[in-house]
Amino acid sequence: MRKTIHQWKQISLVEEEVMLPTHRPILHTTIIHPGAAVILPVNQQGEIVMLRQFRPSIRKWLLELPAGTREDSETPLACAQRELAEETGYLASEWVALGQLTPLAGFCDEIQHLFVAKDLSVTQDYQRDDDEVIDTFCLSIPALEKKIIDGEITDTKTIACLSKAKLCGYI
C-alpha cells in the first residue's frame, strides 16, 4: 500500500507500509526527493565561493554552499554544473566527486551528491530561480571555519562538504 499525500514540484509526501528487518510491518511516511548536488567552488585564490541565501522555510538568511535539486533524469554532475552556474554565475572546468550524504534519513530519501569545483570562470549566461534570493561572496577556508565554530554557518550540507573535501585533501 502506497499513498501520495501531497505533491509539490518534484517532491512527494508518501505513506506506505514498510517491512522492518524484524519482519514487523509499519506504516511510514516519507518525503520522496529526486536528490541534490552540493558544490564546494574553489576560486583561483583558494577561497570558497559561498551564498547568503534567504530560506523561506525557516524565514532566515543562511550562509551556505551552492546546491540544488536534480531535475528529471539529470546526473548528479550535470545538476552540480547547472546549479553552480545558476546560483553563482561561475563555470568550473575541474570537478571532483566526493561521495554522498543522507541528510534526513529518518523521514526523507534524499541523497546529496558532493563535489569540489575548481578552475572557475565567470559566465554571463545564467538565471536564478524565481524563489531564490541570493548574494554571492568568497571566504578563505580559515574564515569559513571560524564562521562554523562561531555558529554563523549552521547549514549541514556546507559543513559536511567542507569537512569531506578537507579530509580527502582537496582543500
- From the number of C-beta atoms within 10 Å of its C-beta (0-12, 13-18, 19+), residue 142 rates as exposed
Residue 17 lies in a domain: no
| Strand positions, DSSP E, 20-103 | 25-32, 36-41, 48-55, 60-64, 67-69, 90-101
The pLDDT profile of the chain, 171 residues, written as one tens digit per residue, is 899 999 988 899 999 999 999 999 999 999 999 999 999 999 999 999 999 999 999 999 999 999 999 998 999 999 999 999 999 999 999 999 999 999 999 999 999 999 999 999 998 766 777 778 899 999 999 999 999 999 999 999 999 999 999 999 999
d(CA 171, CA 154): 20
Residue 103 lies in a domain: no
Q: In 3-state terms, what secondary structure has residue 10? A: coil
Residue 42 lies in a domain: yes
Residue 73 lies in a domain: yes
CATH number of the CATH domain containing 120? 3.90.79.10
Domain count of the chain?
A: 1
Residue 7 lies in a domain: no
Residue 25 lies in a domain: no
